[in-house]
Chains A and B, each alone.
Chain A
Amino acid sequence: MKADAMQRQAVNTERAADAAAGEVVLTVENLSLDFRLRTEILHAVRNVSFQLRRGQTLCLVGESGSGKSVTARALLRILDKNGAITSGRILLAGKTGAIDIAPLTERSPELLKIRGGRIGLIFQEPMSSLSPVHTIGSQITEALRLHRRMDKKQARAETIELLRQVEIPNPDTAIDRYTFEFSGGMRQRAMIAMALAADPEILIADEPTTALDVTTQAEILDLIKRLQVSRGMAMLLITHDMGVVAEVADTVAVMHYGRIVETGSTDAIFYDPKHAYTRSLLRSTVKLEQNQRSYAAAAPVATAPAPVLSLRNLSKTYGASTGWLGGNSNPIRAVDAVSFDLYPGENLGIVGESGSGKTTLGRLILRTVEPSSGTITYFGQDKPVEVTGLSKHELKSFHRDVRLVFQDPFASLNPRMTVKQVIGDPLVVSGKAKGAALEQRVAELLELVGLDPMAMERYPHAFSGGQRQRIGIARALALDPRILIADEATAALDVSIRAQILDLLLDIQKRLELSFIFISHDISVVRYFCDRVAVMHRGKLVEMGTAEQICTDPKEPYTRSLISAVPNPDPRNKRMLHRTRFSV
């Protein structure tokens, strides 16, 4: 056991020495991938070439559908049944010369040795990427027994050691736990431990932190970086987030429509981009770093007009019932005594990690979730309305004024309704318009959100994600609301589309005198879009201030740790490494 550890230590130092040399471990040459679809052949990846070097990180950047994930999987020859490598070579360097992975068949023993043994893979969704019915330990020991030929006892001891290395607390009990007993960050750590089990030379991480909160993301990226340095691994990191790229990459390859349009050092890509697509990608990223509302920031607060919505001590507690079956003595306070005012024409951002209660707060305001206590006062047309006291019928008119924009543009539009029906639905339900008037109103709305009114007879599937989100916004605007609640409205969109949608919302707001409650976990989006920001943590409103103040000069320790964990899309000014940590 000890000898083994020493040997590995030796291997690691040897690798570290190699790393200094930056020796090439994997070369991809002119790789092309085709997918047979029902009616056509999709050239998902075309003539892609890159190199991975020991101890260095190559970031493959691109928007959804650019082919970056399939490229990564092709390196392990994991392709869907209808996919095939049509040309190119994948050369994995070895002591006895390079092996070309591309022509290997699915069942060849060489390939099985490479998978997991020499190249490890981490995925985006740690929940669905681990089996829910096997313990963490059983899934890791399997890799050890397969590649390092350990017996059960050794493998278990080694697994505990691996879990310790990825900083999972109490590794000797965690090994027998199931994935659903872990938080997202812990699951991703277990996934990393599994990918590293056989001590691979190359680690492929496919959007490893996209599903995680910013603070967890920062910790996981830290961890991956440390493990990479100590083991001298080459890493291929796939991401759509330029901030992450700036924080961790040595080299960057930008992918667009299945081709690598530009490759270069991180510094060169960020400060001297050559290709037009790279420039536009950076522009939309950097644009989100600045506040668009600074000109108006002080205005609503300074003049202090009457608020349009006012929350006082709003709370929601779950599991507090004390029925005879035995109530829970430890109720969960999803939202804990939140108070704030929303002014006309103001954009209020609500940020927080998952589980902080921000989504529940949005639902409480609409009363789709009933508040446990507290008041919501809406200052409508004539007199103030106490929302918590409204009857079901009265709630309807409140819902006409306060509307919701959903997160998922794919799931929130009924695929069997035409765009006209989708947008016109609120008008029909409220009896405001029908026939020609309806059609005219829908056309107006489509123009307002920048879509062609001719499109109203088409079905949602004919539109891209960004266009669908526009349709969702048009639907929300149909009844001339005064407040829009947008819950992660841009989270499912690519960065360039995200900026467009935010600009659209700002433009519409200028024209229609709307107020926004913008719920997001993405600090940069909030910074771009909002006048004021409320930071939530464990159901409580921790801090509230102007967007600029929260992002540049946060007062509370929690806000500081949150803001400092946001990756900075500037490789010369890495923020995450110097982040402050918040301990509870």
Chain B
Amino acid sequence: MLNYVIKRLIYMIPTLFGMSMIAFMIIQLPPGDYLSSLLATMADSGQNIDPAQVEALRRSYGFDDPIWLQYWKWISGILFRGDFGYSFEWNRPVADLIWERMGSTLALSIASLLFVWAVSLPIGIYSAMRRHSVGDYAFTFLGFIGLAIPNFILALTLMYVSYKFFGQSVGGLFSPEYVEAPWSVAKFVDLLGHIWIAVIVIGTSGTAALIRILRANLTDELNKPYVITAKAKGLPEYRAVIKYPVRIALNPFVSAIGWVLPELISGVTITAIVLNLPTAGPLLLRALISQDMYLAGSFILLMGVLTLVGMLVSDILLALLDPRIRFN
């Protein structure tokens, strides 16, 4: 097992290298650079800039260097100094910006993941065991509604409800008075008061999908002979089902964990913008629009890394869950 993990980690190195090159190339692809988009914005608002000054900036940022040199400066900074470059738009190091947002992003993603699992696992099991019952149809109906409603509409509705009936401040993860405050019990309670909207909005669509996947997988497994064996042993129905077929039907859940990590960054951008959540999504979008290349590139690279790590984590979990995979 350890050998396997080490081997996988070694395989990740060339993949990461390729990914960093592609990430860098992608952010170079659009015509122009940060300065030209800055000039355009300033010209729109009637400001004038001295061309000499622009030229000086261009040189100091290294935009005139050949592309491989720019890549080398960027990647060597990351590798040797943990320096992801400098965000032109925010005038701050990229690393600071990213880490600042990662905490809240992580909290939000894990909370939504737990929500999705807590809701969809029992419903999925129930639906599979009582297929075509009233309960199954009711949950299926609700699930599909959840899947069909666009996130932003649900977000707007819930914001309205929370403002109108609970008198909460709208948007964000904290009320204004707590945003800059140090952590305290009151701040945590305030966070819980805000995060539920985001969790429900982000979670509903995923919940519906997982209920359907689990229902389909479990329906197949329920007819397998080993379930009859478990019943013939005298296990009560629910214990038999949870110990045997559910365990096997969980495989797709675990494989899906791999996608959760990259979702941290790129997922739920629309919801985050509507709800004004301080997560990574809106920041990445902004960086791409303004051609803030080191910020955008670092995000893309980070997503790649998280995808690989996520896949590794889900493969390890899968091996732990299923001995057939472990032994091959």
CA distance A38 to B44 in the complex (A): 71
Closest beta carbon of chain A to B3's beta carbon, Å = 14
Contact A133 B321 (CB under 8 A): yes
Partner of A129 from B225, B234, B324 at Cβ < 8 Å: B225
- Known contacts being A128-B226, A129-B228, is A146 close to B324, with CB within 8 Å? no
- Beta-carbon contacts of A188-203 to B below 8 Å, as 1s and 0s? 0001001100100000
Residues in B neighbouring A120, C-beta threshold 8 A: 232
Look across to chain A and name the residue whose beta carbon is closest to the beta carbon of B323: A178
Contact A113 B234 (CB under 8 A): yes
Partner of A78 from B231, B321, B322, B323 at Cβ < 8 Å: B231
CA distance A107 to B235 in the complex (A): 10
Contact B225 A123 (CB under 8 A): yes
Give A96-145 interface residues, CB cut-off 8 Å to B.
106-107, 112-117, 120-121, 123, 125, 128-135, 139, 142-143
- Known contacts being A129-B226, A133-B321, A133-B323, is A143 close to B233, with CB within 8 Å? yes
Contact B233 A129 (CB under 8 A): no
CA distance A325 to B226 in the complex (A): 39
Task: Give chain A's interface secondary structure class.
Answer: mixed
- Beta-carbon contacts of B139-175 to A below 8 Å, as 1s and 0s? 0000000000000000000000000000000000000
Give A192-244 interface residues, CB cut-off 8 Å to B.
194-195, 198
Residues in A neighbouring B230, C-beta threshold 8 A: 131
- Known contacts being A128-B224, A131-B244, A134-B244, is A107 close to B234, with CB within 8 Å? no
- Beta-carbon contacts of A429-440 to B below 8 Å, as 1s and 0s? 000000000000
Contact B229 A121 (CB under 8 A): yes
**Taking the complex as formed, is B247 at the interface, i.e. its CB lies under 8 A from any CB of chain A?**
yes
Interface residues on A, range: 35 or more
Residues in A neighbouring B237, C-beta threshold 8 A: 106-107
Contact B327 A78 (CB under 8 A): no
Partner of B231 from A115, A142, A181, A191 at Cβ < 8 Å: A115
Contact A114 B234 (CB under 8 A): yes
Contact A147 B234 (CB under 8 A): yes
Contact A116 B324 (CB under 8 A): no
**Taking the complex as formed, is A541 at the interface, i.e. its CB lies under 8 A from any CB of chain B?**
no
Residues in A neighbouring B323, C-beta threshold 8 A: 132-133, 135, 178, 180
**Taking the complex as formed, is A76 at the interface, i.e. its CB lies under 8 A from any CB of chain B?**
yes
Residues in B neighbouring A113, C-beta threshold 8 A: 234
Interface residues on B, range: 20 to 34
**Taking the complex as formed, is B182 at the interface, i.e. its CB lies under 8 A from any CB of chain A?**
no
Residues in A neighbouring B322, C-beta threshold 8 A: 132-133
Task: Give chain B's interface secondary structure class.
Answer: helix
Residues in A neighbouring B232, C-beta threshold 8 A: 76, 78, 115-116, 120-121, 195
Residues in A neighbouring B189, C-beta threshold 8 A: none
Look across to chain A and name the residue whose beta carbon is closest to the beta carbon of B245: A131
**Taking the complex as formed, is B118 at the interface, i.e. its CB lies under 8 A from any CB of chain A?**
no
**Taking the complex as formed, is B26 at the interface, i.e. its CB lies under 8 A from any CB of chain A?**
no
CA distance A174 to B168 in the complex (A): 61
- Known contacts being A123-B228, A128-B225, is A143 close to B234, with CB within 8 Å? yes
Contact B233 A142 (CB under 8 A): yes
- Beta-carbon contacts of B226-270 to A below 8 Å, as 1s and 0s? 101111111111000001100110000000000000000000000
- Beta-carbon contacts of B215-227 to A below 8 Å, as 1s and 0s? 0000000001110
- Tell which of B224, B225, B324 has the most Cβ of chain A within 10 Å: B225
Contact B231 A146 (CB under 8 A): no
CA distance A230 to B283 in the complex (A): 75
Q: Given A128-B226, A129-B229, A139-B229, 19 other A-B contacts at CB below 8 A?
A: A76-B232, A107-B237, A112-B234, A112-B236, A115-B232, A116-B235, A131-B226, A131-B230, A132-B226, A132-B248, A132-B323, A133-B321, A133-B323, A134-B244, A142-B235, A146-B234, A146-B235, A178-B327, A191-B229
Query: Which residues of chain A have a CB within 8 Å of any CB of chain B?
Result: 73, 76, 78, 106-107, 112-117, 120-121, 123, 125, 128-135, 139, 142-143, 146-147, 178, 180-181, 191, 194-195, 198
Return the 5 tightest CB-CB contacts between A and B, nearest first.
Answer: A116-B234, A115-B234, A121-B232, A116-B233, A129-B225
User: Can you identify 6 A-B contacts, CB atoms within 8 angstroms?
Assistant: A112-B235, A128-B226, A131-B248, A133-B248, A134-B247, A143-B234
Query: Which residues of chain B have a CB within 8 Å of any CB of chain A?
Result: 224-226, 228-237, 243-244, 247-248, 321-324, 327
